[in-house]
Chains A and B, each alone.
Chain A
Amino acid sequence: MQLAWSPEDEAFRLDLIAFLDENTPEQMRTGYDFQDVGDEHELVPQWLRDWQATLFDHGWMIPGYPPERGGRNCTPVQTLIYLETMAGRRMIRSGHFPGYAIVAPSLLEFGNDEQKRLVPAAIRGDTIWCIGMSEPNAGSDLAGLSTRAELRDDHFVVNGQKVWTSYAMIAQKCFCYVRTDPTLPKHKGISLLIIDVDSPGIDIRPLRHISGTAGFAEVFFTDVIVPRENLVGGLNGGWAITQGSLAHERAGLWVEGVARFEQTIEGLVKLAREQGRAGDPIIRRKIASAYELAASLRALGYKGFASFAQGSSAPEHSYMKMAMSEAGKAAFELGMEISGPLAPVTDPELGASTNRFVHGFFMSFANTIAGGSSEIQRNIIAQRVLGLPRR
């Protein structure tokens, strides 16, 4: 066990810092609050698109990838250093994660040569992707999806509906899970199609968040024609791909969540001072407790990373999503408690220093639901990590 990075890794960190000092966009230097952005149109402003392209062109978009995919072939430890440095500076890589984080690695693993050609643009952000997974009747039970794709000669005909589809309003392509064989057991009749969002028969209706902004969309498919060559990973081979994402980055992605949580706690200390609550013993203990949670989760993340880097499976990662999403909610709640009567005030003047907590609280509801709810996470920990029997 040791705290320091190796000289090579330290050199990597200094290279990154030099690049960031030189190239960080002005908007990000002045405190772009990516936690608060709700509307996807403003989530991907032009300067942020340019930033993603700059990162790609300099090999800093996904450093573990080779240069032609926006990286520099760095080691897993260096990837962790990269993610930690970026998060520590409150920096993001991109305004839209599906393309670089899910589509690109999935195509690299399951796509044919033609489909792999879509990868660089997905990572550079030149193509914006959305992911068609959840449906009105397929939430936690994703395999129960029913959007139907019928194969007719050289094309599929797609009918059905997706929901909670992030970035659908601005996407060019949809990575869409469809049912191609309703007679097979439900996990076995699913396929993955690449669908051009401007295809005739696609209707996109933005859904407003409880925060009031349009964050995702419903996507309706009516007799949408999709060429057969847009099938990824074989007919009825879709389920295996749902598990895909940036496997080599997953081991370090928690660090962004921990860093944001720590930054929220710094904000709580500041707020407590501003609101005259810094001497309140209950508030003090709750802030300390949040810090204790953040610090122990950071340690747990690193511990998991150490087993991952040595090639073992690291159950620690299963814990991080559940813990971070619940911790974030509690931290915003504490911010509201410190704010007292100002907590629910959204008035831009009266609530200037407090309204981000109630806003964050509302936004944080999504985090314990999306991407596998906390209850599903607990099932996974119990069954896959602890080896408890399924019913």
Chain B
Amino acid sequence: MDFSLTPDQELLRDTGRKLLERECPPALVRAHIDDPSAYEPLWRHLSEYTALGAGPAADLCLFLEETGYAAAPGPFLATTAYTALTGDAVTTGTVALVDDPTLLFVLEAERVDRIAVVLPGPRLAVVDATDLPVHFVATVDFSRRLFTIDLPHLDAQPLDAEMYAHWRERAYACMAAEMVGTARRIFDMTLAYAKERKQFDVPIGSFQAIQHKLADMSLVLERATAAVHYAAMTIDGNDPDRTRACHVAKASAGEAARRILKDGIQIHGGIGYTWEHDLHLYLRRATADEYLFGTTGWHLDRLAELLIDT
């Protein structure tokens, strides 16, 4: 098992990182709170990378860590999920899972051309987004836009159950990749703050209480990141461990994000609780992501079935 990145993967990660650093600063995420069109200049760049949705999960997850790190608004995650499900790598899209406990709403439905609707069965219908009435659902996270859609009678086709199960696993890993990215952003901000903020005439990061919190945050972050990379490898290798690995990835990412956002704001103290500080932009995303594509508890329950009932 080799976790080292290929030169191409390193290049992809670095390109994504630089692109998002330049095109998606906190000011853009903040502007997106009141002006949903603020994502458009960023999207002109990100839309060039949506074909990653049809490629190896390892590459896509590396890129998604960066979109998560920047809390990038827009339909990137949605489109890569749509592409993986439909094979359509040309149009923008999103997915709607009907009667599914892991995804109640539809990501970015007003910003895409097509919606892949998965009905129980599973059956699949791909429809024009413009044909469907969509309703915005406000959440605590301003960086994503969620919707409900009014579904007419759809002419759905059977979807291969195994292929769909694999798509779902990939979606868990992708969501987890974005989450560890966002968690890393909060961690980096917190670590930097602990080094610069002085109380009692010394940096607060010299206090053992703060050091031990940061050590624990760092451990949970590193193992969630490793779990995501491992899950991506099992997907690309169609390894027998892939189902477990993808549940582990989303559960670990959820655990990491929650721990880091809570301790992150605690270490920031009062300043982190203000609207003007950027921390809440990422804290909101990390909080809300837990409820997309299955909560930590939901994934642990699936793992329990695999471990105990089979």
Chain A residues with CB under 8 Å of chain B are 1-5, 265, 269, 272-273, 278, 281, 284-285, 287-289, 291-293, 295-300, 302-303, 305-307, 309-310, 315-316, 319, 322-323, 375, 377-379, 381-383, 385-391
Contact = CB atoms under 8 A, between A and B. Distances in A.
Interface stretch (B36-44, B134-142, B150-158, B231-239): B231-239
B218 interface: yes
Contacts of A292: 227, 247-248, 251-252, 255, 300, 303
Nearest to B231: A299
Interface stretch (B3-11, B14-22, B281-289): B3-11
Interface stretch (B64-72, B160-168, B200-208, B269-277): B200-208
Give the 3 A-B residue pairs with the shortest CB-CB distance, closest first.
A382-B211, A299-B226, A284-B304
A285 B2 CA distance: 30
A302 B300 contact: no
B3 A306 contact: yes
B218 to A, nearest CB: 6
Contact of A391 (B206, B237, B252, B308): B206
A307 B4 contact: yes
Contacts of A273: 308
B214 A319 contact: no
B301 to A, nearest CB: 7
B2 A1 contact: yes
22 contacts: A1-B3, A1-B236, A3-B237, A272-B308, A278-B309, A284-B301, A288-B301, A291-B303, A295-B245, A296-B223, A296-B226, A298-B230, A299-B223, A300-B223, A302-B3, A303-B225, A316-B226, A378-B215, A381-B219, A382-B205, A382-B215, A385-B218
B5 A1 contact: yes
Contacts of B262: none
Contact of A269 (B2, B9, B210, B307): B307
By secondary structure, the A interface counts as helix
B230 A299 contact: yes
Given A2-B2, A291-B248, A388-B195, A302 B219 contact: no
Given A291-B248, A378-B211, A303 B300 contact: no
B56 to A, nearest CB: 9
Contacts of A378: 211-212, 215-216
B133 interface: no
Interface string B40-82: 0000000000000000001000000000000000000000000
B297 interface: yes
A300 B245 CA distance: 13
A285 to B, nearest CB: 5
A303 B229 contact: yes
Contacts of A4: 237
A300 B229 CA distance: 9
Interface in B78-118: none
Contacts of A1: 2-6, 9, 58, 229, 232-233, 236
- Most chain B Cβ neighbours within 10 Å, of A265, A293, A382, A385: A382
B15 to A, nearest CB: 17
A2 B238 CA distance: 11
A390 B206 contact: yes
B224 interface: yes
By secondary structure, the B interface counts as helix
Given A295-B227, A388-B194, A382 B214 contact: yes
Nearest to A295: B248
B218 A388 contact: no
Contacts of A281: 301
A372 B222 CA distance: 21
A306 B232 CA distance: 16
B259 interface: no
B244 interface: yes
A5 B1 CA distance: 6
B191 A386 contact: yes
A1 B215 CA distance: 27
A288 B304 contact: yes
A4 B239 CA distance: 10
B2 to A, nearest CB: 5
Contact of A300 (B206, B215, B222): B222
Given A379-B208, A381-B215, A388-B194, A299 B229 contact: yes
A362 to B, nearest CB: 25
Contacts of B304: 284-285, 287-288
- Most chain A Cβ neighbours within 10 Å, of B211, B212, B300: B211
Contact of B223 (A265, A319, A381, A388): A319
Contacts of B230: 295, 298-299, 302
B206 A287 contact: no
B266 to A, nearest CB: 16
Contact of A382 (B212, B237, B244, B301): B212
A81 B195 CA distance: 40
B215 A386 contact: yes
Nearest to A6: B2
Contacts of A307: 4
B221 to A, nearest CB: 10
- Most chain B Cβ neighbours within 10 Å, of A3, A306, A379: A3
A295 B226 CA distance: 10
- Most chain A Cβ neighbours within 10 Å, of B1, B300, B301, B309: B1
A306 B2 contact: yes
Contact of B233 (A3, A379, A381, A382): A3
B260 to A, nearest CB: 13
Nearest to B2: A2
A281 B301 CA distance: 8
Given A297-B223, A389-B206, A284 B211 contact: no
Nearest to A281: B301
Given A300-B222, A305-B3, A288 B300 contact: yes
Contacts of A302: 1, 3, 226, 230
A202 to B, nearest CB: 38
Given A288-B304, A381-B215, 11 more contacts: A1-B3, A3-B234, A288-B307, A291-B244, A292-B300, A295-B227, A306-B2, A307-B4, A323-B219, A382-B211, A383-B211
A118 B175 CA distance: 55
A296 B221 CA distance: 10
Contacts of B239: 3
Interface in B168-185: none
